[in-house]
A = this chain, B = another copy of it.
Amino acid sequence: MSVKYAILGLLHYKDMHGYRVKELLESNFGNMWTVNYGQIYPALSKMREEGLLTMSEVAQTDAPAKKLYSITPKGKKAFSKWLNSSPEKGLIMRDPFLLRMTFFNFGKKERALDIIAEQIDLYEAQLKLRTENMPKRKQQDVYVHLLADLGVNLNKMMLDWLKRAEKEIAAEEK
C-alpha cells in the first residue's frame, strides 16, 4: 500500500487533512499520481486505528470543519523503515493512448494522426503548467526539485516523440 507511505511522508512537513493530502499528492509531488477520496479517507482512518496518526477536529467559520491528522512517533518509525528498504519491482507506465497506438496498423491512418494531435495538445498544456510551477519546486529540497525536473523531462521527451511519430506516420504510403 503506497498511499499509506505517501501520506506518512507528507505529514512530515505539516499536519494535514484529507482534502489537502489529495491536493498535494496530485499537484505538488511526483506529477505522477492520481489518488481519490475513496482511497485517502479510509486510509487515514485505518492508519489512525493502527496508531500511526492522531486526529483532531478543527472547526472553521468560513468553511466546513476539517480533520487534522498528525504523524505519531510510531508513524515516523514505520515511514523510516519503509524509506530505507529496497524499492520493489519496477516502474509501471500505462497509457490508454499508447495501447491504442500499438495496434493502429489495424485502424485508419487519419484517425491515428488525429489522436496523436490531441495528445500533443494535451502534453503541451501540461508542459506549460509544469514549467510555470518549477520555480516553486526549486525552493524546496533537492529531491522534490529533481522530481519536478523529471516531470518536465518526461513531458519534453513525449512531445519530441509524438512529433516524430506524426512525421513518420504521415510519410508512410498505405
Contact = CB atoms under 8 A, between A and B. Distances in A.
Contacts of A6: 99
A108 B84 CA distance: 8
A87 B97 contact: yes
A79 to B, nearest CB: 7
B153 A154 contact: no
Given A90-B95, A99-B5, A84 B111 contact: yes
B94 A12 contact: no
Given A107-B84, A149-B161, A29 B102 contact: yes
A96 B93 CA distance: 12
Interface string A132-154: 00000000011110110110011
Interface of A: 2, 5-6, 9, 12, 29-30, 32-34, 79-80, 82-84, 86-108, 111-112, 115, 118-119, 122, 141-144, 146-147, 149-150, 153-154, 157, 160-161, 164-165, 168-169, 172
26 contacts: A2-B94, A2-B96, A2-B99, A33-B94, A79-B103, A80-B106, A82-B100, A87-B100, A89-B96, A90-B95, A90-B97, A91-B94, A91-B97, A91-B98, A93-B154, A98-B150, A103-B143, A104-B143, A105-B141, A105-B144, A112-B143, A142-B168, A142-B169, A146-B169, A153-B161, A157-B157
